Structure 1
Amino acid sequence: MGSDIGANIRRLREEREWSQARLAHEVCRAAGVIGDPVGRQEVSRWETGKRTPREWLPFLAAALGVSVEVLRAPQSPAEPPLPTLADFLPEGDPLSPLEERSGRIGMGTVDDLQKRVHGLRLADDVLAGGDLIRPALRDLRRAVKLYRENSHGSEVGRALLRQIGELAQIAGWIASDAGQHAEAERIYRLGISAARQAEDHTLAGNIAGSLAYQLSNTGRESEGLTLAQAALNDAGADAPPKARALYLDRVAWAHTKSGGIENGQRAMRALGEAGQALSEDSAGMESPAYLYWVDAGELRVMESRVYTELHRPLRAVPLLRGVLSEYDATHTREMALYLSWLAVALADANEPEEAAVVAERVIALASDIPSERTAERVRVILRRLQDFADVPEVAELLAEHQAA
């Protein structure tokens, strides 16, 4: 019941284009009280189901111009289960062409697909995996059907396989963000196969690096390190600078997650080599368009995360503050993720009060994002702050968000 009320409050508030602070003010006005005893945070707790309005319910209804029954109305049935790659692709080798094909396609079809892939990648900058997994899998199915069910020349065939690989990389990333890790692995492996058949070793390395990153983050650190190093080695020294920087970035993280002093040192060396590779980006060798996001800022993000993971907060905190001061606030998921690393680094720096303030902001951002990555980071922060449970600010935070 509480979750239904919270969802209804949020839906009605957003229909009126009110902020949570505006709704809090209107509730107090409807109740005829002075001093705004209900604030934005209380509205947030109602909407997320952490608290039930109870005595405030009639005033909420009055402020929103609906009856109490409307606020209590049950939500529509949940969406059907997320689709999986198996729902969209044929059994056996999903990239084997059919013997009888329906038509012939040219490079124009490939160009259209490329635009869809790029659009999905841009959408991932501002939306989370839970929002995008269905359209991502539909696009992947459509791309594979195009390749299998139509005839095409060798150049068009390779270009189609390349787009399937690019699409699998972003679709795998989206599935991983939605918490569908086994599904993401299947998608990544399909993409690696497509890229290798297209003889695009740079793309194959990018997809393998994405899978290595997931493995490193989901308890398969040894596999992640092996795959990250293989992606780097297979690409060779002739890989475009941005691609090589990204491969080294993944290697650094894989070493970090593997633990130990020696791996920490190897991680720092890999980060230094990644920075050197990126500095060569202006040397005339063009990098693939899908690596548009790889820049010095992203390397600073990884460097700060490595320092945090290695419990070196004096290096991590300044780096994270610098990154966050320049970051695009519309990229909500990444903002929440980077703030989560800052909260942990502040805790390591024995600044629990400030860590609690940052953690509260992370939780507020994460509550509106259907992303398993942000949800897991919230759990990490709350576990880390347990060491400071006797600090009043931390105790209040833990009491409010115990369910998380």
Structure 2
Amino acid sequence: MSSAGGEFGRAVRAALKDQRLSIRAASRAMSYDHAFLSRVLAGKQLPSPELAESLDRLLNAQGSIVELAARLLDGDAPSATPPLPTLADFLPEGDPLSLPTVRSPRRVGVGEVRDLQQRVHGLRLADDVLAGGDLIGPALRELRKTVRLYRENTHTGEVGRALLIQIGELAQIAGWIASDAGRHEEAERIYRLGLSAARQAEDHTLAGNLAGSLAYQMSNTGRTDEGLTLAQAALHDTGDDAPGKARALYWDRVAWAHTQAGGTENSQAAMRALGEASAALADDTDTDEPPAYLYWVDAGELQVMESRVYTELRRPLRAVPLLRDVLGGYDATHTREMALYLSWLAIALADANEPEEAASVAERVIRIAADVASERTAERVRVVLARLREYADVPEVATLLADNAAA
């Protein structure tokens, strides 16, 4: 650790102690990940300017913590690249999947595991056509039921591992559903539970899927540094032995995390990650059947992510044709995704100085979103309307804004 790095960690820890705040309490108060803050204060990872500002406000340090971080980031940092975090850094504390002693457990067999696999995949397929607000109840009930099945009964080692894998798969889709319903804290707890189960089952591909899903939520809810760190950890820990579809998906999530982090360097890194995603999918020569949860990953989905990245990077000449191509053949029954992809098209059209067409597409987004119980679509409606305010003097846009003033 550099001298500035050590000074930063010591100063923050001393200030926390003076105010009788634990690292966990501080991370909760700032809505930062506890493991991330712990790594920073231990000198394992550099603080971001945003984290330094949050700590400065929390501790009423009057700029001293921001100054320390600036010194560290401006040249007093170690010359060597800090070690990448691993997925173990993101696991929940304790062991929520420990096996208690129960009086009359029953034996769980492979038949129940197969039934569970079908229910989990059924929930994934339901998520294609239903939104988080519609599915959150059934998803949480199924997750609680499955955790109890594992903890409160006996099983062979093989069946126990299979149950852990199903808990991980179920946690991934349940976390996704909770996130879509706007229940982000609950989604994070679910993702971390699933990550613990996948790690115990030694299923690194599944662990990467869970970590990437959590990273995606972090990137979309303002925790961009954490999202990028976790997305990179998911990719790194999964390794080259993962199926090509999995590696393509994890590279896509790294690309999105870089995009949300902002800045020229991250923009370039996002473009490189998109290229790696396409290469991973093209090089997929694995003859084994990929995990069922990767059923939706194909060239079309990579095109969706590519178009969204171009939109966020304000490159409408590349984004608009891709989005039109995607939407031209998209399954209309997938209404939530249809609304989401149309929202990016509306933004890209606005960036291309086509406000009339952007307003027309935005109207479709609003009409579809009204019937979808998804916080993500509701947020995208707000984003689109905010972007179109720049063109409030265009009659079509003015009418749209007036009709949707409440949004």
Write the distance in 2 (CA, Å) between the matches of 1:243 and 1:106. 29
Partner of 1:17: none
1:231 equivalent to 2:231? Answer no
Gaps of 5+ in 2: 1-92
Gaps of 5+ in 1: 1-90
Write the distance in 2 (CA, Å) between the matches of 1:236 and 1:135. 34
1:363 equivalent to 2:366? Answer yes
Aligned residues: 314
Write the distance in 2 (CA, Å) between the matches of 1:92 and 1:315. 47
Partner of 1:99: 101
Partner of 1:373: 376
- Please identify runs of 4+ aligned residues in structure 1 that moved more than 6 A: none
Partner of 1:109: 112
Write the distance in 2 (CA, Å) between the matches of 1:148 and 1:171. 19
What is the CA distance between 1:290 and its match in structure 2? 1.0
1:143 equivalent to 2:146? Answer yes
2:174 partner SS: helix
Q: Tell whether the 8 Å contact from 1:255 to 1:266 is kept in structure 2 after alignment.
A: yes
What is the CA distance between 1:254 and its match in structure 2? 0.2
Q: Deviations over 1:114-165 (max 9, x none)?
A: 1110000000000000000000000001100100110000000000000000
Give the residue type in structure 1 aligned to 2:99.
P
Give the residue type in structure 2 aligned to 1:98.
P
Q: Deviations over 1:47-74 (max 9, x none)?
A: xxxxxxxxxxxxxxxxxxxxxxxxxxxx
Q: What are the within-5 Å matches in structure 2 for residues 317-336 of structure 1?
A: 317-336=320-339
1:172 equivalent to 2:182? Answer no
Write the distance in 1 (CA, Å) between the matches of 2:217 and 2:405. 27
Greater Cα radius of gyration, structure 1 or 2:
1
Q: Tell whether the 8 Å contact from 1:94 to 1:144 is kept in structure 2 after alignment.
A: no
Q: Deviations over 1:193-245 (max 9, x none)?
A: 00000010000000000000000000000000000000000011111100000
What is the CA distance between 1:261 and its match in structure 2? 1.1
Partner of 1:353: 356
What is the CA distance between 1:283 and its match in structure 2? 4.3
1:230 partner SS: helix
Q: Deviations over 1:321-363 (max 9, x none)?
A: 0000010000000000000000000000000000000000000
The TM-score, its normalising length taken from structure 1, stands at 0.77
What is the CA distance between 1:93 and its match in structure 2? 3.4
1:99 partner SS: coil
1:391 equivalent to 2:394? Answer yes
Q: What are the within-5 Å matches in structure 2 for residues 236-247 of structure 1?
A: 236-247=239-250
1:188 to 173, 185, 191: 191
Partner of 1:21: none
Partner of 1:131: 134
RMSD, matched Cα? 1.1
Write the distance in 2 (CA, Å) between the matches of 1:117 and 1:283. 24
Aligned-pair identity (%): 78
Q: Tell whether the 8 Å contact from 2:130 to 2:336 is kept in structure 1 after alignment.
A: yes
The TM-score, its normalising length taken from structure 2, stands at 0.76
Q: Tell whether the 8 Å contact from 2:311 to 2:348 is kept in structure 1 after alignment.
A: yes
